[in-house]
A = this chain, B = another copy of it.
Amino acid sequence: MGWTTAELAQRVGAVLEGDGTIEITGVAGIREAGPGHITFLANMRYATDVARTRAAAVVVPRDWDRPCAAPALLRAPNPDKAFSLIAQWYAPAPIVPPPGVHPAAVVSPEAKLGQGVSVGPCVVIEPGAEVGDGTILFAGCYLGHGVRVGKKCKFYPHVSVRESVRIGDRVILHNGVVIGSDGFGYTVNDKGVREKIPQIGIVEIGDDVEIGANTTIDRARFGRTRIGNGVKIDNLVQIGHNVVIGDHVVIVAEVGISGSAEIGERTILAGQVGVVGHVLVGRDCIVGAKSVVTKDIAPGQFVSGFPAIPHEEEKRLHAHIARLPELKKKVADLEARLKALESGNS
């Protein structure tokens, strides 16, 4: 039920320094770790904690040369990665629900389930839906009419997928995710009253996508809202109708993307960002936290602020704002000196 420090060093390809005989019983953060624990240093923010940790062992970068309170050091080229491996060995076995349909699930006879699919209690699958081999649907998930879900997906409890949505392979949807709700579209009639524009498109999600808890993705007005392959979306994100998210995009929590916007491949949107409708954010961009993108952004830019402008420029403006009191004083001083000159001249 565990390994010694020497065994762990060997298993992750680290160089051991100090006591190799300590039996490691678990993993923990550098501040919470106690005797028997192994911990790690990946973020230099916590460097001083190495000198006072109570852990038995610390995984550190190869060139670490500062004091360490633990009796064993494991020098690794990538401490984060090495520690992740170790953490998994000490983790409880992951929950793998048994294949088959729980008697309290409601699966339409017109739905099609692949091999080894697991359907939890209170799951509802409507007619025409198809689920690929090895996919797991935890309790209370809902798949609408004609939904297609790929292989080896994992949908946590209370996921809702509305009719005709298509989802690729190995997609993870966390609890409460909603895919395919109606887009937010209305026309205003003669009396100033809004009439609903039918939202008859779908959502199409690629392979290897992960979507965080309670995030919502609207179906297209027509055609499709598209989430590319390898996209990672955090919790409580809103994605509007007809949005196109390129492959391997990363979207952090509480971002909102308005209808028909397009996000290029590999771009990263930090937390609480807003993107207005119909704009194009190029590929390989970074948009800083809480920024608002109001117009197209060329590929490869790091932008921030509202409106989002190149980050360096935004930082300069911020510095100018911070020095406004100083500028005001200087102007007052100039005025006084000018006045003195003027009266001298009169």
Query: B-contacting residues of A (Cβ < 8 Å)?
Result: 27-29, 32, 43, 45, 80-81, 84, 87-88, 91-92, 95, 102, 104, 106, 120-122, 124, 126, 138-140, 142, 144-146, 156-158, 160, 162-164, 172, 174-176, 178, 181-182, 184, 186-187, 192-194, 196-198, 200, 210, 212-214, 216, 218, 221-223, 230, 232, 234-236, 238, 240, 242, 248, 250, 252-254, 256, 258, 266, 271-272, 274, 276, 278, 289-290, 292, 306, 316-317, 320-325, 327-328, 330-331, 334-335, 337-338, 341-342, 344-345
Contacts and interface: CB of A to CB of B under 8 A. Distances in A.
Nearest to A251: B184
B164 A160 contact: no
B184 A235 contact: yes
28 contacts: A29-B222, A87-B200, A87-B221, A91-B222, A95-B163, A106-B122, A122-B122, A122-B140, A138-B142, A157-B160, A174-B181, A176-B178, A176-B214, A184-B232, A184-B235, A193-B248, A194-B248, A214-B236, A218-B235, A253-B256, A254-B256, A272-B292, A274-B289, A316-B325, A334-B334, A338-B341, A341-B342, A344-B345
Contact of A28 (B192, B222, B335, B341): B222
Given A317-B321, A320-B328, 11 more contacts: A122-B140, A140-B158, A142-B158, A156-B181, A158-B158, A184-B253, A186-B232, A193-B248, A213-B216, A213-B218, A256-B272
Contacts of A81: 187
A254 B80 CA distance: 31
Contacts of A223: 27-29, 32
A29 B327 CA distance: 50
Given A238-B234, A256-B271, A45 B278 contact: yes
Given A196-B210, A222-B27, A238-B235, A43 B278 contact: yes
Contact of A181 (B232, B235, B278): B235
Contacts of A232: 184, 186, 194
Contacts of A186: 232, 250
Given A178-B213, A271-B258, A106 B102 contact: yes
A253 B240 contact: yes
Looking at A81, A172, A174, A330, which has the most chain B CB atoms within 10 Å of its CB?
A: A174
A276 B218 CA distance: 28
Nearest to A193: B230
A267 B324 CA distance: 30
A335 B328 contact: no
A223 B37 CA distance: 11
A327 B328 contact: yes
Contacts of A324: 317, 320-321, 324
A10 to B, nearest CB: 21
A138 B164 CA distance: 16
A92 B197 CA distance: 15
Looking at A213, A230, A252, A337, which has the most chain B CB atoms within 10 Å of its CB?
A: A213
Given A158-B158, A248-B194, A174 B164 contact: no
